């Protein structure tokens, strides 16, 4: 969430920021509730102080008449205090609910736009492969080689699921190995996090106010399945205080992820591009406030190095304001070239959430000036299913076989799938 002091001092900036995100929150009402809440808090504290004083006076009074009068005064004070406390509790609840609905404000340099069509292409990298034949889409190739089975998955689980099989499974774990090796060079700690988290953790990460329709909720246990391991790494350090020298704290996580894909009805319903369950390697950093922009660029550079190692053509996108999620203040996407589909498709993203998530989760670090909230950065190393698609389409051969990228051969022990 945003610092209420920041909102008080910069109401126009906040209004403009959330407007550019396409989100409606009544900031004037929020500030009105804040003012009322602070006034009530002062009144409650004043009544408590007065109550303490009367309690001390009663202990000193021996005269029965005076004591009776003071007890009457105490009774009235208790009644007034109870009413004020109840009013404060109600007002604080309304204030907090509205405060939590305010999204993060975009950083300077983020392109202002109304939807994803206003995202800006920063650069294109790599050479698109030239085929002496018309390239096929991944699913046609994979089904002929018995690498992906969506029909049996539909029988077992329904739509938007798939069985990944045979050599493609080995390629997936080769991707995990490659990502882990690249990330650990930069000091990222490997971790396998929980895939179910409690409500406080999911809310703390900023995904409950908007976008909750895509989250799987296990009502009996009141647990949520993560849509990305970012959601379980961030709360690891909830209510903790880092020493400044311990930062940056970096993790690289492997996990399965789960999304309802409620907002993508009718899109990519066949195959494994947009599914309810997928595996992912995620990068996550806790850093000092002054280092967050530099760390964001580091995560993007790791993503690019991985794509360059696979020799898959891609482009880097600067995401516009309206296409940012609630927690993100800035975001880059990487889109891989898919020759069989003749278009670029998103495979990576990396977001700087500044202190938005840390403030909700109360994650801070020590400075000479006192405690300060960390900044939290997340990014995709590999969304494995989508990278497998990119490999199949970019490394397909005329006879229907698939060459293995050179960088993965040492992990799998074969040079092609046929």
Angstrom distance (rounded) from CA 104 to CA 375: 12
* Of the candidates 116, 113, 114, the residue with the CA atom closest to the CA atom of residue 344: 116
Choosing from 37, 160, 250, 386, the catalytic residue is 386
Kindly report the number of other CB atoms within 10 A of residue 123's CB atom. Answer: 9
Enumerate residues 6+ apart whose C-beta is below 8 A from 320.
Answer: 110, 111, 112, 113, 114, 115, 116, 118, 119, 120
The catalytic position among 48, 67, 260, 274 is 274
CB 143 within 8 A of CB 163: no
Element (H, E) at 48: helix 27-60
Q: Which helix or strand (DSSP H or E) is residue 328 part of?
A: none
List Cβ neighbours of 352 (8 Å cut-off, separation of 6 or more): 107, 292, 293, 295, 296, 328, 329, 330, 331, 375, 377
Strand-pair category, 189-191 with 249-258: parallel
Active site residue 123: no
Catalytic residue, chosen from 37, 160, 250, 259, is 259
Per-residue tokens: 34: 């804040």
259 is catalytic: yes
Q: Is 274 noted as a catalytic residue in this protein?
A: yes
278 DSSP β-pair partners: 257
Whose tokens are 């699921």? That residue is 161
- What is the C-alpha to C-alpha distance for residues 330 and 377, in angstroms, rounded to an integer? 10
Is the backbone of residue 350 left (phi > 0), alpha (psi -120 to 50) or beta?
beta
Structure tokens at 370: 């006192």
User: Catalytic pick from 101, 232, 292, 349?
Assistant: 349
Cβ proximity of 24 and 101 under 8 Å: no
| Residues linked to residue 286 through DSSP beta bridges, in sequence order | 249, 376
Residues 227, 275: contact at Cβ < 8 Å? no
The residue annotated as part of the active site, out of 50, 167, 209, 346, is 346
Residue 119: C-alpha distances to residues 60, 111, 319, 331 (Å): 73, 7, 5, 10
Tokens encoding 291:
């280092």
Q: Residue 405's beta-bridge partner residues? A: none
Active site annotation includes 349:
yes
Q: Which residues are catalytic?
A: 259, 274, 346, 349, 386
């Amino acid at each position: 969430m945003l610092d209420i002091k920041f909102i008080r001092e910069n109401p126009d900036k906040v209004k403009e920021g959330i407007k550019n995100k396409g989100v409606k929150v009544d900031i004037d009402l929020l500030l009105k509730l804040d003012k009322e809440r602070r006034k009530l808090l002062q009144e409650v504290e004043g009544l408590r102080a007065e109550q303490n004083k009367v309690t001390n006076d009663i202990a000193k009074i021996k005269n029965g008449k005076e004591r009776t009068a003071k007890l009457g005064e105490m009774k009235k004070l208790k009644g007034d205090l109870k009413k004020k406390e109840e009013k404060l509790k109600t007002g604080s609840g309304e204030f907090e609910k509205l405060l939590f609905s305010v999204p993060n404000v975009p950083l300077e340099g983020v392109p202002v736009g109304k939807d994803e069509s206003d995202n800006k292409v920063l650069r294109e990298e790599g050479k698109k492969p030239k085929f002496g034949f018309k390239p096929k889409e991944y699913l046609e190739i994979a089904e002929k080689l018995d690498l992906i089975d969506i029909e049996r998955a539909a029988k077992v689980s329904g739509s938007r699921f798939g069985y990944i099989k045979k050599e493609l499974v080995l390629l997936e774990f080769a991707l995990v190995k490659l990502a882990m090796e690249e990330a650990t060079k930069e000091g990222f700690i490997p971790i396998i996090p929980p895939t179910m988290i409690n409500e406080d953790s999911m809310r703390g990460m900023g995904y409950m106010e908007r976008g909750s329709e895509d989250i799987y909720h296990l009502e009996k246990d009141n647990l949520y399945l993560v849509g990305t391991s970012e959601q379980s790494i961030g709360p690891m350090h909830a209510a903790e205080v880092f020493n400044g020298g311990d930062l940056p704290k970096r993790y690289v996580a492997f996990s399965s992820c789960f999304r309802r894909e409620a907002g993508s009805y009718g899109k990519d319903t066949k195959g494994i591009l947009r599914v309810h369950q997928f595996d992912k390697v995620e990068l996550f950093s806790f850093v000092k406030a002054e280092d967050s922009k530099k760390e964001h660029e580091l995560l993007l550079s790791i993503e690019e190095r991985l794509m360059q190692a696979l020799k898959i053509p891609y482009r880097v996108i600067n995401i516009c304001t309206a296409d940012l999620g609630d927690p993100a203040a800035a975001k880059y996407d990487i889109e891989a070239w898919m020759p069989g589909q003749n278009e670029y498709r998103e495979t990576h993203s990396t977001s700087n959430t500044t202190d938005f998530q840390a403030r909700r989760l109360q994650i801070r670090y020590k400075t000479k000036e006192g405690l300060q909230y960390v900044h939290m950065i997340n990014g995709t190393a590999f969304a494995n299913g989508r990278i497998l698609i990119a490999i199949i389409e970019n490394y397909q051969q005329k006879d229907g076989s698939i060459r293995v990228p050179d960088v993965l051969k040492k992990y799998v022990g074969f040079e092609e799938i046929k």
